[in-house]
Structure 1
Amino acid sequence: MKEGKDRLILKDLISDLAVAKVVGDAGIEVRGLAYHSRDVQAGFLFAAIPGWREDGRKYIPEAIDRGAQVLLVNSFIEEIKITQIIVPEVREALARLAATFYDHPSLSLKVIGITGTNGKTTTSYLIESILKEAGSRPGVIGTINYRYQGQVWPAPTTTPESLDLQRVMQNMRAAGVTEVILEVSSHALDMQRVRACHFDVALFTNLTRDHLDYHRSMEDYFRAKQLLFTQYLGESKKDPRFAIVNLDDPRGAELLRVAAGRKFGYGIKKKGDVWPEEVAESPDGLWCRVQTPRGAYEIASPLIGQHNLYNLLAAISVGEVFQIPIPAIRKGLRELDRVPGRLELIKGEEGVRVFIDYAHTEDALARALATLRQIYPGRLLVVFGCGGDRDKGKRAKMGQVAAWGSDLAIVTSDNPRTEDPLAIISEIEEGLRVVKAQKHSAADLLKQVNLLDQNPHYVIIPDRREAIDFAIRLAQPNDVVLIAGKGHENYQIIGPERIHFDDREEAERALGLKKERKNL
């Protein structure tokens, strides 16, 4: 598969850089780009990115040993003898160089960028389904995977580094992809990974607390999200280009005021360009009659919950701005029956419904619990934890949400990383104590099935496998078990190691054990 130009003369490669000083030979041939020293080959340019945890300059000697002929740096290095390009911002310059090296693939594709705390992944699946029904060949770059034309790769990050992003888009273009649906994280926006990416659509789902281990405040977090609509959409060479915003979000109106391009709003409470006149919900999914600029039409989806109604409206909005035929929109929404790890039902035979969900913020967890509580009449048990080396401020809040929204909160480990799992659980437990949730032992709950009343209750089981098994073992016919936090992930990070762990597999195993116990 073609991966851009085989080589470029350095002076041509840097032609899009507004500020750059070349120390050395500007006529040298550049055979490739890299920002990891291990990826450098003979004749490559190495970008020494000042990282969040490590400085790329540390790896310059290794890059040179591997054959680097050019360095991209933010200050001159006296002892280095190869050609240096000195720029104010290495990340921005790398993004522009990557776009030039791969011949600006985003200019040949329709690019839909989706940002927001929650809903990005489901919305990307819905848009993909609509585009396929319309006869297009979409590619997706997102949290679960990168995929196009029947090919799928695991996603190491939601939004790739700029060099990788441009390479993937070039490969998509070469494979005949017509649209790229790109989940754009706040980290990617802040780190300029989508610089030199020309968007047709910027879409905002919502903003709630997350990533405050990286962003200094909610205001800083919002400013990062806003960049997609101001800086990046503003720099896009596409015409027309659209800013699509959830008007019900408290930040929606503010974002729409400052956004570049044509402005388009959707909502449930606020009637923008797209809004539902009537809504019906059942265990079988959602139905609504939606008003659009092209008139009203009915849509149905197997997805459940008000949060998914917002995702449906977002996808419909993209269909509207692209003037996709209404039958394709309706069929695309109807045909998507599941999104991996997003309220994904694990089928069992014991009368217990088990759902796997990626909810790892207080807002997402609250929405998932509220959805299941509204639809299903049985008791609601939730298994959840909080990730280590991430925003500590949300842990107690998630404990409160779990206690308020369920009949029993089962607190366990998520991805503890380098933190002590018990210390994380202790911080979650602070929130449970605030709402005066009653603590139990697992043994007592198994012996006395009627201990749970209308008050909040919780139990601590640090081992995630044991916690899932306990929840499903405790559940009675018509009960619902929500296993939250990891969703589609098939690993658990403990210390520096990533081990295989899949909530879906564990739920299936526990359901099988439940059946075996019943048959004894």
Structure 2
Amino acid sequence: MSAAETTLSVAAQDRVFRPRGVVGASVEELVAELTATGFEPLVTPVGRDVGEVRLTGAAMDPKAVGPGDLFVAVAGSRAHGADFVMTALDAGAAAILTDVAGSERVRDRVGYRIPVIEVRRVREAAGPSAALIYGNSASSGPALFGVTGTNGKTTTTYFLRSLLDELLRPHQRATGLIGTIEIASGEDRIPSKMTTPEAVQLHSLMALFREAGVAAAAMEVSSHAISYQRTSGLFYAVAGFTNLTQDHLDLHGSMEEYFAAKAALFARRRTRSSVVIVDDPWGWRMAETATGHVVTLATAETPDPAADWAVTEVRPHLLGSAFTLYNRHTRESIRSRTGLPGRFNVANAALAAVMVLTADESTGLGVSRREIVAALEQADPFTISVPGRMQVIGTAPAAIVDFAHNPDAMIRTLEAAASTSEGKTILVIGAAGERDSAKRPLMGAIAVRMADHVIISDDDPHGEDPAQIRAGLLEGAREALQNEDLGSTALEEISPRREAILRAVEVARPEDTIILAGRGHEVHQDFAGTRHPIDDRVELARALRLRGFPTAADAPDTEPDPDLAMTTRLSPAEGGDTA
């Protein structure tokens, strides 16, 4: 099924993840496993021997529970999962894993009708529990390639899967993908609800992958997922680190805590080999913190000579770049390329390449190094379209949709535009509500420093006043315009976003570049809990066609709306800020 065409609830997604055949485990076996791994479980006695109770699945959402499932009841921000124990029991739950508060709620509601396994760290215990039930181990497969970092995770995982596809297809084996945009098993796809699913879903998905003949999978690993123990019980063949820049401080509080969350992925107990981009001090610190086999990769214009691998000889190639990977130990040189614009996409491609080159025989890929090198040099695995990541919608003007939604990502995207544009850069940006508000003025200032025409609009306000969010961006933009020599940079505030996109196309000339930043592949805006359909890619393609501008071959196939007028609420001549 198509990620673009199908919308599933979390519970429905959970059911899609279920394998047909499950190893299963008794409650007695599960308690023994949790005891052996240090969770010190307590089991509420029931009228029958717990050894008789067989578990054949696991679910954290009570609406996703099926017969024979372990219901994992965790504390949420508004309620405790144990409050919904009757829903889980009616659906056939065979046992419950929960914490002290959850045990009390279960006893109050159902007494001693069902085994209750009580642990102190229930989220952390969910992963090993599901792993036992679904028969997952460090060697059971598929080979997992996990990618974490602030920016570049999605593109790197798409590059990884493309390369793995090229290698495994001749062997009649499939690949998988788990990430922000979609979850894919071979040709089957469903849209994602979160960057990294819950632990019970991931372990179910691993068993489903094996049934589908998936030999390797690329997976985004967010800091939220690590902090909330969603990856508990998983083992990665290779983990990759892209970069660390300011983001998600609403969750982590500080860059130190943010770093610590990411670093947890690179422990020997959960990752066999690590590949770390070391273009800044955070990268080198991650390489020093990681345990097990660690490989360093330098992708900056002046690569650090101490890195194991370096990107060299970067040169333009169509819209993207050709580059060479050089190993300082073996003096091996591998030439490859990417069709996506921007130096940061060279880094993403290089990371994907080195991760696969680093995978040893124990991963079970069954491909030779010669095959990997041949795929990198001849098959062009990194010239693919990644939904909403530097996705080219129009060609004259160049019109691009990107997910850049923090300061560092904005800089990278705008640098890529400047390197290929012969005219002005026209930028539409917003910021998400109820998120790190400190980055908003920074993003506004970056926008007017690096773009020629900036239109500040809405992203996902969530429960926050959209005007207040725009004001934070405008504050940084106006201060930069006032205090810095930024020439004739134009600044406008336009809401709703559809009108902002129309305005961007209205002021563009064929030699210009339009960038819609922040939303990427997303197809709804959240205004105080109400979802409003909008897809930047569709709106941009429609606006371009209204003006008679050419669109890319894979731009959304939508008919222009003749009722749309190319007008906006504000223009520079009517009160918009200019400098």
Q: Same fold (TM over 0.5)?
A: yes
Structure 2: runs of 5 or more not aligned: 1-17, 360-368, 549-559, 567-579
Whether 1:86 aligns to 2:118 is yes
Equivalent in the alignment of 2:510: 477
Please show how residues 423-502 of structure 1 align to structure 2 within 5 Å.
423-436=468-481, 454-502=487-535
Whether 1:24 aligns to 2:45 is yes
Equivalent in the alignment of 1:277: 312
Letter in 2 for 1:421: P
Equivalent in the alignment of 1:316: 353
Equivalent in the alignment of 1:336: 383
User: Cα–Cα, structure 1 residues 332 and 363, in superposed 2: closer, same or farther, change >3 Å?
Assistant: farther
CA distance in structure 2 between the partners assigned to 1:42 and 1:153 by the alignment = 24
CA contact (8 A) 2:502 2:540 kept: yes
Letter in 2 for 1:471: A
**Per-residue Cα deviation, 1:474-502 (whole angstroms, up to 9, x for no partner):** 11120110001111112221221223211
CA distance in structure 2 between the partners assigned to 1:248 and 1:339 by the alignment = 24
Letter in 2 for 1:5: V
CA distance in structure 1 between the partners assigned to 2:379 and 2:196 by the alignment = 25
Letter in 1 for 2:22: K
SS of residue in 2 equivalent to 1:313: helix
CA distance in structure 2 between the partners assigned to 1:201 and 1:139 by the alignment = 15
CA contact (8 A) 2:337 2:382 kept: no
Q: Deviation of residue 458 (structure 1)? A: 0.8
**Per-residue Cα deviation, 1:394-413 (whole angstroms, up to 9, x for no partner):** 11111111111100110000
Equivalent in the alignment of 1:448: none
Equivalent in the alignment of 2:292: 261
Whether 1:326 aligns to 2:359 is no
CA distance in structure 2 between the partners assigned to 1:493 and 1:45 by the alignment = 33
User: Cα–Cα, structure 1 residues 195 and 258, in superposed 2: closer, same or farther, change >3 Å?
Assistant: same
Equivalent in the alignment of 2:283: 252
TM-score (norm 1): 0.91
Letter in 2 for 1:101: I
TM-score (norm 2): 0.82
SS of residue in 1 equivalent to 2:481: coil
SS of residue in 2 equivalent to 1:188: helix
Structure 1 residue aligned with 2:58, among 16, 33, 40?
Answer: 33
Whether 1:49 aligns to 2:74 is yes
CA contact (8 A) 1:73 1:90 kept: yes
Q: Deviation of residue 332 (structure 1)? A: 4.5
User: Cα–Cα, structure 1 residues 332 and 267, in superposed 2: closer, same or farther, change >3 Å?
Assistant: farther
Q: Deviation of residue 204 (structure 1)? A: 0.4
Equivalent in the alignment of 1:507: 540
CA distance in structure 2 between the partners assigned to 1:7 and 1:374 by the alignment = 55
Q: Deviation of residue 283 (structure 1)? A: 5.0
CA distance in structure 2 between the partners assigned to 1:433 and 1:498 by the alignment = 31
User: Cα–Cα, structure 1 residues 418 and 331, in superposed 2: closer, same or farther, change >3 Å?
Assistant: farther
Q: Deviation of residue 464 (structure 1)? A: 0.4
Q: Deviation of residue 124 (structure 1)? A: 1.0
User: Cα–Cα, structure 1 residues 276 and 73, in superposed 2: closer, same or farther, change >3 Å?
Assistant: closer
Letter in 2 for 1:22: V
CA distance in structure 2 between the partners assigned to 1:259 and 1:69 by the alignment = 39
Letter in 1 for 2:165: K
Whether 1:129 aligns to 2:162 is yes
Whether 1:422 aligns to 2:443 is no
Deviates more, 1:54-63 or 1:109-118: 54-63
CA distance in structure 2 between the partners assigned to 1:303 and 1:40 by the alignment = 42
Please show how residues 20-169 of structure 1 align to structure 2 within 5 Å.
20-25=41-46, 26-27=50-51, 28-75=53-100, 76-77=103-104, 78-79=107-108, 80-81=111-112, 82-104=114-136, 107=139, 108-136=141-169, 137-169=174-206
Letter in 1 for 2:325: V
Equivalent in the alignment of 1:307: 344
CA distance in structure 1 between the partners assigned to 2:94 and 2:185 by the alignment = 34
Letter in 2 for 1:91: R
Structure 1 residue aligned with 2:224, among 187, 193, 202?
Answer: 187
Q: How big is the alpha-carbon RMSD for the aligned residues of Structure 1 and Structure 2? A: 2.2
Structure 1: runs of 5 or more not aligned: 439-451
CA contact (8 A) 2:57 2:134 kept: no
CA contact (8 A) 1:469 1:507 kept: yes
SS of residue in 1 equivalent to 2:250: coil
Deviates more, 1:4-13 or 1:428-437: 4-13
**Per-residue Cα deviation, 1:317-350 (whole angstroms, up to 9, x for no partner):** 11321335311122354552321111111125xx
Q: Deviation of residue 129 (structure 1)? A: 1.6
CA contact (8 A) 1:116 1:225 kept: yes
CA distance in structure 2 between the partners assigned to 1:7 and 1:302 by the alignment = 45
Whether 1:399 aligns to 2:447 is no
Q: Deviation of residue 70 (structure 1)? A: 2.1
CA distance in structure 1 between the partners assigned to 2:81 and 2:117 by the alignment = 15
CA contact (8 A) 1:437 1:455 kept: no
CA distance in structure 1 between the partners assigned to 2:475 and 2:338 by the alignment = 39
| Number of equivalent positions | 497
Q: Deviation of residue 4 (structure 1)? A: 4.7
Q: Deviation of residue 53 (structure 1)? A: 4.5
SS of residue in 2 equivalent to 1:152: strand
Q: Deviation of residue 270 (structure 1)? A: 1.3
Q: Deviation of residue 302 (structure 1)? A: 1.3
Q: Deviation of residue 156 (structure 1)? A: 0.7
Structure 1 residue aligned with 2:433, among 388, 394, 405?
Answer: 388
Deviates more, 1:135-144 or 1:475-484: 135-144
CA contact (8 A) 2:25 2:132 kept: no
Q: Deviation of residue 264 (structure 1)? A: 0.3
**Per-residue Cα deviation, 1:46-97 (whole angstroms, up to 9, x for no partner):** 2111224432233234333444342212114153323211101111111111
Letter in 2 for 1:37: P
SS of residue in 2 equivalent to 1:224: helix
CA distance in structure 2 between the partners assigned to 1:214 and 1:54 by the alignment = 19
SS of residue in 2 equivalent to 1:303: coil
SS of residue in 2 equivalent to 1:512: helix
Q: Deviation of residue 135 (structure 1)? A: 2.5
Letter in 2 for 1:248: D
Letter in 1 for 2:419: Q
Q: Deviation of residue 278 (structure 1)? A: 1.4
